[in-house]
Structure 1
């Protein structure tokens, strides 16, 4: 079974038409039809319902399609990663989550620019969820994020676990009552802003996951576009917001920050890179991150 045949099959499924699939593949219809029939003979099953317009897969055809797509996708990723491995590039493309600029990311970037000779640093804003795909496609070379998404072709290291804080207005009851620390169980009835509202998983689903781990059901979670909008609402007197400790440095008026004591209330800060990547700059970055950890 050739990859070309899988591509032909997948295209027919997606286009729901031999004619449209042949046009997209830039081949004539008869050879494409023969390829599909040969594939069915090889597998010993019928992949498409006969006489259906538009073309529809059989149950086993749909099952086989899911695997065909996975094989084609992994093959494309493998080619991309090998091509990146072969190329000697003087540019380091760093994917990052915006909130990490309140952490040590500016210091790390400054170090790279000053200490890695002849290397140009490019910054690419990229959510943790999207960093895996961006690494595979060579859009970034290293990613700094906040989620523990795993993939066999990507190495991920937890650099630090950052305590979470509750941001509230200075006139909030918790502040006026001089509450110095809280547990998430105290917040289930509060209006809590979470962010971002980008495709899942993201930091908002991470926060919801912590509540779930503690068997808590928050009644009033409100999703916003990004951290500044969430804190802006809190600064205006609306509810509270759960943020990493480093984000407490955001200079908005009227905000007070209360540490959350639950052991689960920690945000992992991670660095990710391609498993096959052995470029010297990756080693230098990891060595510097080890230095930062030892200084904590």
Structure 2
């Protein structure tokens, strides 16, 4: 049970409606209903009378509401006292893979700034291998990455899987299709990034083809995502990118859905093993608040 679940419950009680509570919390109604259902299952008690209009709490629900309000009030007081006590500002350095700025990372950082106004956040773009080294050396405090790199010095948690899509020049016959498969791309010039001998997004894309028994011969490594899309815009080939990259609009570049079930890109949150939760827990909380708002399915994980 987390404080945000108590906030969700209190809002539903006070609004006497899941719909109005969802509007107040800026959350879609289905994930809000699921969170309340999960809360009831965790408590082993029914908190609301089913079918009541307006929505009413059960006897246990009323008791839980009173306790939840007290806990939330105490938590807010503790937060304010602690913030005042730590008058000096703290800078948190977060590493990230380039394409993640196209997705929800900016919203997560914005929410973190709002909830922890005494913290400064410094975003540093790093490839997968450099992220791990920077964590171990203390140059960054946490990283958001698409690449699974194992190291005994770090903790890595899968946040979610994002679908992959193909970036195709508008003159290409495949650009008008609703969806295509990797098999349609095996003979194409495929741009991958970044240049690296170790684990990287480029090796993930190559491995994806191998998983389906294909080994395209025409891979070309580019410096980064923007350069790869620039080559697609020039009509030189195609590039496989995460779905959130759609927001990057290049003239003559169309994005086409990939139908293969394994065409997914994982997103990880990575911290050092000696992180006892001081940084990780607030980051996780902001991630899941944004996921709730976007109605994104996830397995809740905390340290």
Partner of 1:45: none
Instruction: Look up the match of 1:240.
Output: 238
Q: What is the number of residues matched between the two proteins?
A: 207
Structure 2: how far apart are the matches of 1:180 and 1:120? 43
Measure how far apart 1:89 and its partner are: 8.3
Residue 105 of structure 2: aligned partner: 105
Cross-structure match for 1:284? 282
Do the aligned residues in 2 keep the contact of 1:159 with 1:293 (CA within 8 Å)?
A: no
Judge conservation of contact 1:94–1:143 (CA < 8 Å) in 2.
yes
- TM-score of the pair, normalised by structure 2: 0.65
TM, length-normalised to structure 1: 0.66
1:147 and 2:154 correspond = no
Matched, 1:197 2:192: no
CA offsets per residue over residues 235-280 of structure 1, 9 Å max, x none? 1111111111011110211111111111111010111001221253
Q: How large is the RMSD of aligned CA atoms in angstroms? A: 1.7
Deviation by residue 1:3-40 (Cα, 9 ceiling, x = unmatched): xxxxxxxxxxxxxxxxxxxxxxxxxxxxxxxxxxxxxx
Structure 2 contact 168–237 (Cα < 8 Å) conserved? yes
Task: Please tell me whether the aligned partners of residues 89 and 118 of structure 2 are also in contact (alpha carbons under 8 angstroms).
Answer: no
1:166 match: secondary structure: strand
Question: How far did 1:223 drift?
Answer: 1.0
Q: Is the 8 A contact 2:98 2:225 kept in 1?
A: no
- Residue equivalent to 2:249: 251
Give the Å deviation of 1:292: 2.7
Task: Point out where structure 2 has 5 or more consecutive residues left out of the alignment.
Answer: 1-87, 297-303
Match of 2:226, SS state, is helix
* Partner residue, 1:46: none
Query: What do residues 87-110 of structure 1 show as CA deviations (whole Å, max 9, x unaligned)?
Result: x98221101111111011111111
Which stretch shifts more, 192-201 or 130-139? 192-201
Report the counterpart of residue 225 of structure 2 in structure 1. Answer: 227
TM-superposed CA distance for 1:234, in Å, is: 0.9
Structure of higher CA gyration radius: 1
**In the aligned structure 1, how far is the partner of 2:256 from the partner of 2:125?**
29
* Structure-2 residue corresponding to 1:165: 165
Instruction: Give per-residue Cα distances to partners, 1:121-163, cap 9 Å, x unaligned.
Output: 1122211222122111111100011011122221111112111
Which runs of no fewer than 5 residues in structure 1 stay unpaired? 1-87
